Amino acid sequence: MAVSVGEAVSTGPVRDHTPPARRFGGRGRSVLEVALLAVLAVVMLFPVLWMIETSIKENRDVYAIPAKFFDFKVTMDHFKDVFFASGGGRSALSVSFLNSVVVAGVSTVLATVLGVPAAWAYSRFAVKAKKDQLFFILSTRFMPPVVVVIPIFLMYRQVGLIDTKLGLILIYTAFNVPFTIWMMKGFVDEVPAEYEDAAMLDGYTRLQAFWRFTLPLLLPGIAATAVFALIFSWNEFVFAIFLTSSDTVRTAPPAIAGLIGGTTVDWGLVAAASVVFALPVLVFAYLVRKHLVAGVTLGAVRR
Amino acid sequence: MSDPVSLTTEHPGQVASATPPAPGRSSRLSDRWLTVAFTSPALLLLLAMSVFPLLWALYLSFTDYSATRGGPAHFVGFENYTAILTSAQVHQRALTTLIYVVGAVTLQTVLGFAIAYLISRRTHGRGLLTTLFLVPMMLSPVVVGLFWRFMLDAQFGVINSMLGSLGLEQVEWLTRQRTALISLIVVDTWQWTPFIMLIALAGLTAVPKYLYEAAAIDRASEWFRFRTITLPLVWPLLLIAVLFRAIEAFRLFDLVYILTSGGPGVSTETLSFHVYKVAFLGFNTGTASAYGILMVLVVLVLTQLYLRYLNKLKED
Amino acid sequence: MRYPKRVGRLSVPRRTVRLATAAMLVATTMAACGQDDGEKASAPKAPATIPELTKDPLTLSFIWFDWPPAHALETFANAEYAKERSNVTIKVNTVPNANWHDAIFTQFAARKTDFDIPILDSQHIGEAVTNGNILDITDFVKKNIDVKAYNPYLLAAYGQFPQAETGKRDENASLYGLPLLGDTWTMIYRKDLIGDEPPQTWDEMISVAEKCQADNPGVSGLAFHQANGSDAAAVTYNTVNGVYGGNLWDPKTRKIDGVLNDAAGQEAMDVLVNKMKPLTATGSGNWFIDEVNAAVAQGKACIAFNWIAASGGLLDPKQSTLGTTREQILDKLGFATLPSQKTNLVPLGGMGMHVSAYSSEPNQAEALNFMKWFERADIQKKWAAAGGVPSRTDALESPEFLNAGPFNQVYTDSVPRMRDMWNVPEYARLVDIENTNVNAALNGAKKPKDALDDIAKEQQGVLDSSGRKGGGGL
Residue C167 confidence class, pLDDT cut points 50, 70, 90: low
pLDDT over 60 at C22, yes or no: no
A296 in B contact zone (CB under 8 Å) = yes
Give SS3 for A150: helix
Average pLDDT for A92-109: 96
Rounded mean pLDDT of C391-398?
Answer: 94
Asked if pLDDT for residue A112 goes beyond 50, the answer is yes
Question: Taking CB atoms and an 8 Å limit, are C10 and B177 in contact across chains?
Answer: no
Which residue segment(s) compose the domain that A48 sits in?
2-83
pLDDT digits (tens, 9 = 90+) for A253-303: 999 998 887 787 889 999 999 999 999 998 988 888 888 887 877 777 765
Asked whether residue A10 carries a pLDDT value surpassing 60, the answer given is no
Residues near A239 by beta carbon (within 8 Å), at least 6 away in sequence: A145, A149, A152, A168, A171, A172
Give pLDDT, residue B10: 35
Confidence of residue B229 (pLDDT cuts 50, 70, 90): confident
- Give the whole-angstrom CA distance, residue C336 versus residue C311: 12
User: Which residue did the predictor score with more confidence, A3 or B208?
Assistant: B208
In this complex, do C63 and A160 lie within 8 Å of one another by their Cβ atoms? no
From chain B, the residues in CB contact with A170 under 8 A are 49
Q: Is A214 in the same domain as A251? A: yes
* A277 & A217 share domain: yes
Do A67 and A97 belong together in one domain?
no
CA distance B242 to B199: 10
pLDDT of residue B81: 96
Same domain, A125 and A261: yes
> What residues contact residue C246 under an 8 Å CB cut-off, 6+ apart?
C260, C262, C264, C265, C267, C268
* Phi, psi dihedral angles at C188 (to 5 degrees): -110, 120
- Which chains border C (3 or more CB–CB pairs < 8 Å)? A, B
The CATH fold assigned to B95-315 is MetI-like fold (1.10.3720)
Q: Are C310 and C291 in contact (CB under 8 A)?
A: no
Q: Measure the CA–CA gap between A253 and A181, rounded to whole angstroms.
A: 26
What pLDDT score does B28 carry?
60
CATH of the domain at A189: 1.10.3720.10
Answer yes or no: do A116 and A180 share one domain.
yes
Instruction: Check pLDDT > 70 for residue B22.
Output: no
Nearest-Cα distance to chain A for C114, in Å, is: 8
Spatial separation of the C-alpha atoms in residues C288 and C230, rounded to whole Å: 9
Q: What is the pLDDT of residues B161-173, one digit of tens each?
A: 999 989 888 899 9
Q: How far apart are CA B85 and CA C470, in angstroms?
A: 12
Q: Helix, strand or coil for residue C150? A: strand
Looking at chain A, list the stretches that DSSP marks H as alpha helix, in order from N- to C-terminal side. 5-9, 21-55, 59-62, 77-83, 92-124, 130-141, 145-159, 165-189, 194-201, 206-209, 215-235, 238-243, 252-257, 267-287, 292-296
Q: Taking residues A12-24, what's their average pLDDT? A: 45
For residue B264, is the peptide bond before it cis, meaning its omega torsion is within 30 degrees of 0? yes
Residue bearing the bigger pLDDT, B225 or B173: B173
Cα A247 from chain centroid (whole Å): 24
Using left for φ > 0, alpha for ψ between -120 and 50, and beta otherwise, residue C245 falls in left
Q: What is the mean pLDDT of chain B?
A: 86
Are A69 and A99 contained in the same domain?
Answer: no
Please list, in sequence order, all residues whose beta carbon lies within 8 angstroms of the beta carbon of residue B79, skipping any fewer than 6 positions away: B64, C469, C470, C471
Across-strand partners of C182? C350
What's the Cα-to-Cα distance from A15 to each of A64, A290, B134, B205, B215, rounded to whole Å?
46, 11, 18, 6, 21
Per-residue confidence band for A126, with pLDDT thresholds at 50, 70 and 90: confident
Touching check for A118 and chain B: CB below 8 Å?
yes
Tell which of A66, A83, A100 closes a domain.
A83
When CB atoms are compared, the residue of C108, C445, C462 closest to B264 is C445
Note the pLDDT tens digit of each residue in B52-106.
999 999 999 999 998 887 778 889 999 999 999 999 999 999 999 999 999 999 9
CB within 8 Å: C285 and B172: yes
- Residue C270 contacts residue C202 (beta carbons within 8 Å): no
Q: What pLDDT was estimated at residue B314?
A: 76
Q: Residue B120 region, left (φ>0) first, then alpha (ψ -120 to 50), else beta? A: alpha
Q: Which residues of B touch C425 (CB under 8 A)?
A: 69
- What is B200-256 written as a DSSP string? HHHHHHTS-HHHHHHHHHTT--HHHHIIIIIHHHHHHHHHHHHHHHHHHHHT--HHH
Q: Which residue, C266, C269, C288, C265, is CA-closest to C277? A: C269
The CA distance from C65 to C7, in Å, is 60
Between B210 and C271, whose confidence is greater?
C271
Mean pLDDT along residues C441-445 = 96
CA A190: distance to chain centroid? 23
* Interface predicted TM-score (ipTM): 0.86
pLDDT at A269: 93
For residue C33, the model assigns a pLDDT of 42
Region A155-164 average pLDDT? 90
Q: C-contacting residues of B 78-107, CB under 8 Å? A: 78-80, 82-84, 87, 89-90
Phi, psi of B101 (to 5 degrees): -60, -50
Shortest Cα distance from A20 to chain B (angstroms)?
7
- Mean pLDDT over B288-292 rounds to 95
Nearest to B64 among C30, C130, C472 (CB): C472
The total number of residues shown for chain B amounts to 316
B-contacting residues in A 4-33 (Cβ below 8 Å): 11-21, 23-25, 33
How many whole angstroms separate alpha carbon C105 and alpha carbon C113?
9
237-266 in chain A: CB under 8 A from chain B: 237-238, 242, 253-254, 256-257, 259-260
Q: State the Cα–Cα distance between residues C57 and C85, nearest whole angstrom.
A: 10
Give the residue among C61, C62, C66 at the shortest CA–CA distance from C96.
C66
Q: Residue C109 and residue A153: Cβ atoms within 8 Å?
A: yes
Average pLDDT over residues B211-232: 81
Structural domain total, chain A: 2
Per-domain residue ranges for chain B? 95-315
CB C13 within 8 A of CB A129: yes
Tell which residue, C463, A250, A245, has the closest CA to residue B280: A245
Integer Cα distance of C318 and C297 in angstroms: 10
Q: How confident is the model at residue C10 (pLDDT cuts 50, 70, 90)?
A: very low
Given a contact cutoff of 8 angstroms between Cβ atoms, the answer to whether C123 and C235 are in contact is no
Look at residue A286 and give its three-state secondary structure. Answer: helix
**pLDDT above 70 coverage of chain B, percent:** 90
Q: Omega into A151 within 30° of 0, i.e. cis?
A: no
Question: What percentage of chain C has pLDDT greater than the value 70?
Answer: 90
d(Cα C409, Cα C388) in Å, to the nearest integer?
Answer: 13
List the alpha helices (DSSP H) in B121-157. 126-138, 141-152
Give all domains of chain C, ordered by start, each with its CATH number.
Answer: 58-183+349-419 (3.40.190.10), 185-347+422-464 (3.40.190.10)
pTM over 0.95: no
DSSP string, C287-320: --HHHHHHHHHTT-EEEEEEEGGG-GGGG-GGG-
Residues A137 and A232 reside in one and the same domain: yes
Give B-chain residues touching C281 at CB under 8 angstroms: 154-155
Confidence of residue A151 (pLDDT cuts 50, 70, 90): very high
**All residues at 6 or more sequence positions from C38 whose CB lies less than 8 Å from its CB, including other chains:** B69, B70, B71, C131, C132
**Better-scored residue on pLDDT, A18 or B312:** B312
Give the residue among A279, A273, A275, A278 at the shortest CA–CA distance from A82: A273
Q: Which amino acid is at A214?
A: T
Give the tens place of pLDDT for each residue, A221-250. 999 999 999 999 999 999 999 999 888 999
Which residues on chain A are in Cβ contact (under 8 Å) with B17? none
Do A115 and A213 reside in the same domain of the chain?
yes
Residue-wise pLDDT tens digits, B104-145: 999 999 999 999 999 988 878 888 888 889 999 999 999 999
For chain B, the 3-state helix, strand and coil shares in percent, each to the nearest 5, are 75, 0, 25
Asked if B42 lies within 8 A of A118 by C-beta distance, the reply is yes
**Residue pair B41/A135 in contact by the 8 Å Cβ criterion:** no
Write down which residue in A57, A83, A109 finishes a domain.
Answer: A83
C48-103: pLDDT as tens digits? 999 999 999 999 999 999 888 998 999 999 999 999 999 999 999 988 888 899 88
CA B21 to each of CA A200, A201, A214, B32: distance values in angstroms, whole numbers, following the listed order: 10, 11, 18, 20
Q: What is residue C16's predicted lDDT score, i.e. its pLDDT?
A: 45
pLDDT number for residue B5 = 35
Chain A nearest-CA distance from B205, in A, is 6
Find the Cα–Cα–Cα–Cα dihedral A173, A179, A180, A185, rounded to 10°. Answer: 150
Note whether A46 and A120 are same-domain residues.
Answer: no
User: In this predicted structure, what is the pLDDT of residue C423?
Assistant: 84
Question: Confidence class of residue B26 from pLDDT cuts 50, 70 and 90?
Answer: low
Which DSSP letter does residue A84 get? B
Mean pLDDT, residues C135-139: 96
pLDDT tops 50 at residue C31: no
Which pLDDT tens digit goes with each residue over C261-317? 999 999 999 999 999 999 999 999 999 998 999 999 989 999 999 999 999 889 988
Q: A16 pLDDT exceeds 60?
A: no
pLDDT per residue as tens digits for the range A189-221: 989 999 899 998 998 888 889 999 999 999 999
The mean predicted confidence, pLDDT, of chain C is 88
Same domain, A77 and A108: no
